[in-house]
A and B are shown apart, each in its own frame.
Chain A
Amino acid sequence: MQSLIAEGVDTVFGYPGGQIMPTFDALYDYMDKINHILVRHEQGAVHAAQGYARVSGKVGVALLTSGPGATNAITGIADAMLDSTPLVVIAGQVPAASLGTDAFQETDLVGVTQPLTKWSFQIRKAEDIPWAVSRAFFIAQTGRPGPVVLDITKDAQNAETEFNYEKCKFIRSYFPTPDTDPATVKEAAEIINSAKKPLALLGQGITLGRAEKEVQAFLEKAQIPAAWTLLGLSALASDHPLNMGMLGMHGNLAPNLKTNECDVLIAIGMRFDDRVTGDLNTYAKQAKIIHFDIDPSEVGKNVKPTVGVLGNVKLTIPKVARLVHEANHNSWIAEFKPLYEREYKSVIKKETEPTDGEIRMGEVVKLISDATGNDAVMVTDVGQNQMVSARYFKFKRPNSFVTSGGLGTMGFGLPAAIGAKVGAPDRTVCMFAGDGGFQMTIQELGTILQSQIGVKMIVMNNNYLGMVRQWQELFFEERYSFTTMINPDFTAIGKAYGIESRQVKKREDLADAIQDMLKDDKPYLLVVEVEKQGMVYPMTPAGTAVTNVLLGDE
């Protein structure tokens, strides 16, 4: 406990159980310093810690017991690893003498989590706790952030020890930020100066490095149009003139097509995920590629760059920016506009401003974004709701978007939104989920009830697992194998948990319901019955070229 306080921890998400009881007992004495949020399932604790970390920029902490408590946390740990979220997950373990005997609630948590964490360590002696905790926090938040697991045996929790805390600042085998080779900075600047049609790709490395201002200044100086990855959302204001929208499978038409037309591609803190690149053999082959990243193992992993600039983009981008000439690429930038207009006509208008038919997901998202002044934190679940939210929600400031990108974890939304609200209590937190994902962690409504966390939950119900249904329609000859859902009355469930809940079936009731939802800072469940067989367009089918964009109107 003292170690956690020494690291500045004031919020913990957890669930007690046999082998972590000594720590929870100690927590009882520190309730004035540490706000512990009791969740309803350990997966929820880890997702909440993720949501907390993503909006606050601090390390998220989850506290759980051994065995099933620990294995329930695995999904969240894997999610945090893929999305580079700083977490410290502390789990109880059977007493050291019982290790390896298949004792009650024993699992080899360190063994299981080694491939899913930055560092996973078992503490067997009380005197090792300060050392391991300080190391855990150092590792979780430095360099490319990620989850760390501490597995503490029950006897180590019980033993008394002299408390001597020294903050970890250095590990000789760990280089969080690689050295930047000045030659690569020079080469990158030269390539950018010679570019006629540059395109920048903005990833989460920018928000993790708190480099939003530096990147914006760099883009403005050389007038480089930019597009963001899913996790790069909110790294630049949505309405910035150089912001061309989102990349990837359900991204915007213009940046995807222009990826294969630009002459220089500048990737900043992103990892060329397959959902962004599509078929690598046809990806940006015409362009010189510059890759800025803090993680040397990402450079060249999926796309071989012409030059890789290692280091924190907060430092490397200004170095390159200094050498870059002011430029204008007006005619190149102008080429994006007609593509946007085409997408607007074919997709966006129908999705966000429909006048007839069932309610569309896009109009729900747009109305809520507008109603919050584009200044809310958006948390999403996974699937159509996620893609539509990412496409139509707008952002003014960074750290405003929380989603499960790499792992694509259904059920992420509700607990992550709880964590986000705890991490940013003064902001409005809107959670968008579908009827499928919402039911995967629906028990966390209990957490909202108990801790009165003012999350605005928007469930867009189409009684389908919509994204899978969309693939079945497009690629499986409309064979809707197990994607229809018979759902309960969600508002009745919300009310059972003491949460104000409202269902909307008609377009004309939508605006009023949203006003009602946003009237105060209390939790609210808004269930919107949306178009049953809605499709998310544009869409680039998996494994095909980025230019192979379906608009759904041909």
Chain B
Amino acid sequence: MEERTLYTVTVFSENHVGLLNQITIIFNRRRLNIETLSVSPSAIQGIHKFTITVFSDRDTIEKVVKQIDKRVDILKAYFNVDEELVHQEIALYKVSTDQLLKSGSVEELIRKHNIRILEMTETCVVFEKTGHYAENQQLFKELSETIGVLQFIRSGRVAITKSKVERLSDMLSAIEKKMHKNHE
């Protein structure tokens, strides 16, 4: 079997009920496990953007993306590898205030990991860290091994391509031109 790489699949769709299901069943058929998933309105009104990460070989991901792209309500689907993207995840960590204070230099910890403190009570502190998966994971590991983590949650990946303009806007204007031509 070919080497499996982490691919980021970006999907732009109309905002209709049931689209997430239409997309995930295509992964299901190929037994691909979705690592992370994030859905939000895109820069263009009425269009939603899905960012999905998945381990796959190139041949399979190419076919899967073509099959997603084929769905009627999908505007565009494409895939990238990490090098082509600026990507980020966010993670929240809840730790015990007592343990944190006992651990030594809080300042050092915060500076080293670029942590923000969102909430602090007598019993617990909530940290926020944004970064790549590995960075957020590293902090989780460090905290677990030292002061312990009471609660931990991370978001799915959000990503932006390194090329200048969001490709969808080009596509939409091309479609509009074509439509006008058809109606002339």
State the A residues within 8 Å of B (CB). 110-111, 114-115, 118-120, 122, 139, 169-174, 295-297, 300-301
**Additional A-B contact list (16), CB under 8 Å, known A170-B179, A173-B75, A301-B63:** A114-B21, A114-B22, A115-B29, A119-B72, A119-B73, A122-B17, A169-B182, A170-B182, A172-B175, A172-B179, A174-B72, A295-B70, A296-B66, A296-B69, A300-B63, A301-B66
CB distance from B79 to the nearest CB of A (A): 14
Cα distance A139–B74 in the bound complex, in angstroms = 13
Which residues in A have their C-beta under 8 angstroms from that of B72? 118-119, 139, 171, 173-174
CB distance B182 to A297 under 8 Å? no
State the B residues within 8 Å of A (CB). 13-14, 17-18, 21-22, 25, 29, 62-63, 66-67, 69-70, 72-75, 172, 175, 179, 182
CB distance A297 to B75 under 8 Å? no
Cα distance A13–B25 in the bound complex, in angstroms = 30
Q: Which of A120, A171, A172 is close to B172, meaning CB atoms less than 8 Å apart?
A: A172
Which residues in B have their C-beta under 8 angstroms from that of A297? 63, 66-67, 69-70
Cα distance A119–B25 in the bound complex, in angstroms = 14
Which residues in A have their C-beta under 8 angstroms from that of B67? 297
CB distance from B29 to the nearest CB of A (A): 7
Which residues in A have their C-beta under 8 angstroms from that of B13? 173
Closest 6 CB pairs of A and B: A297-B66, A173-B75, A119-B72, A174-B72, A115-B25, A297-B70
Q: Which of A114, A139, A171, A301 is close to B25, meaning CB atoms less than 8 Å apart?
A: A114
Contacts A/B (CB < 8 Å), 28 sampled: A111-B18, A114-B18, A115-B25, A115-B29, A118-B72, A119-B72, A119-B73, A120-B18, A122-B17, A169-B182, A170-B179, A170-B182, A172-B179, A173-B13, A173-B14, A173-B72, A173-B73, A173-B74, A173-B75, A295-B70, A296-B66, A296-B69, A296-B70, A297-B67, A297-B69, A300-B62, A300-B63, A301-B66
Cα distance A169–B183 in the bound complex, in angstroms = 10
Closest Cβ neighbor of B73 among chain A residues:
A173
Closest Cβ neighbor of B62 among chain A residues:
A300
Instruction: How many A-B residue pairs have C-beta atoms within 8 angstroms? Tell me.
Output: 44
Cα distance A439–B139 in the bound complex, in angstroms = 66
Closest Cβ neighbor of A176 among chain B residues:
B72
Which residues in A have their C-beta under 8 angstroms from that of B75? 172-173
Cα distance A301–B70 in the bound complex, in angstroms = 13
Which residues in A have their C-beta under 8 angstroms from that of B179? 170, 172
Cα distance A173–B176 in the bound complex, in angstroms = 11
Which residues in B have their C-beta under 8 angstroms from that of A300? 62-63
Which residues in B have their C-beta under 8 angstroms from that of A169? 182
Which residues in B have their C-beta under 8 angstroms from that of A170? 179, 182
Cα distance A169–B181 in the bound complex, in angstroms = 13
CB distance from B70 to the nearest CB of A (A): 5
Which residues in B have their C-beta under 8 angstroms from that of A174? 72-73
Cα distance A296–B29 in the bound complex, in angstroms = 19
Cα distance A199–B29 in the bound complex, in angstroms = 33
CB distance from B32 to the nearest CB of A (A): 15
CB distance from B42 to the nearest CB of A (A): 13
CB distance from B181 to the nearest CB of A (A): 12
Which residues in A have their C-beta under 8 angstroms from that of B29? 115
Closest Cβ neighbor of B67 among chain A residues:
A297
Which residues in B have their C-beta under 8 angstroms from that of A111? 18, 21
Cα distance A301–B29 in the bound complex, in angstroms = 14
Of B72, B73, B74, B75, chain A has the most CB atoms within 10 Å of the CB of B72
Which residues in B have their C-beta under 8 angstroms from that of A110? 18
Which residues in A have their C-beta under 8 angstroms from that of B18? 110-111, 114, 120
Which residues in B have their C-beta under 8 angstroms from that of A172? 75, 172, 175, 179
Which residues in A have their C-beta under 8 angstroms from that of B182? 169-170
Cα distance A428–B21 in the bound complex, in angstroms = 44
Cα distance A114–B19 in the bound complex, in angstroms = 9
Of A296, A297, A301, chain B has the most CB atoms within 10 Å of the CB of A297
Cα distance A295–B63 in the bound complex, in angstroms = 12
Cα distance A88–B184 in the bound complex, in angstroms = 30
Cα distance A295–B66 in the bound complex, in angstroms = 10
Cα distance A395–B179 in the bound complex, in angstroms = 40
Cα distance A118–B66 in the bound complex, in angstroms = 14
CB distance from A402 to the nearest CB of B (A): 25
CB distance from A546 to the nearest CB of B (A): 22
Cα distance A268–B39 in the bound complex, in angstroms = 39
Which residues in A have their C-beta under 8 angstroms from that of B62? 300
Of B17, B18, B67, B179, chain A has the most CB atoms within 10 Å of the CB of B18
CB distance from A293 to the nearest CB of B (A): 12
Cα distance A104–B149 in the bound complex, in angstroms = 49
Cα distance A296–B74 in the bound complex, in angstroms = 15
Cα distance A110–B63 in the bound complex, in angstroms = 24
CB distance from B162 to the nearest CB of A (A): 25
CB distance from A235 to the nearest CB of B (A): 24
Which residues in B have their C-beta under 8 angstroms from that of A296? 66, 69-70
CB distance from A477 to the nearest CB of B (A): 33
Of A114, A173, A295, A301, chain B has the most CB atoms within 10 Å of the CB of A173
Cα distance A5–B182 in the bound complex, in angstroms = 25
CB distance from A113 to the nearest CB of B (A): 11
Closest Cβ neighbor of B29 among chain A residues:
A115
Which residues in A have their C-beta under 8 angstroms from that of B22? 114
Cα distance A111–B69 in the bound complex, in angstroms = 19
Which residues in A have their C-beta under 8 angstroms from that of B25? 114-115
Closest Cβ neighbor of A118 among chain B residues:
B72
Which residues in B have their C-beta under 8 angstroms from that of A114? 18, 21-22, 25
Cα distance A293–B175 in the bound complex, in angstroms = 22
Cα distance A295–B182 in the bound complex, in angstroms = 21
Cα distance A478–B96 in the bound complex, in angstroms = 71
Which residues in B have their C-beta under 8 angstroms from that of A171? 72
CB distance from A259 to the nearest CB of B (A): 23
Cα distance A295–B172 in the bound complex, in angstroms = 21
Cα distance A292–B14 in the bound complex, in angstroms = 29
Of B14, B17, B70, chain A has the most CB atoms within 10 Å of the CB of B70
Cα distance A119–B14 in the bound complex, in angstroms = 13
Cα distance A119–B70 in the bound complex, in angstroms = 11
Closest Cβ neighbor of A304 among chain B residues:
B59
Cα distance A118–B72 in the bound complex, in angstroms = 7
Cα distance A170–B180 in the bound complex, in angstroms = 11
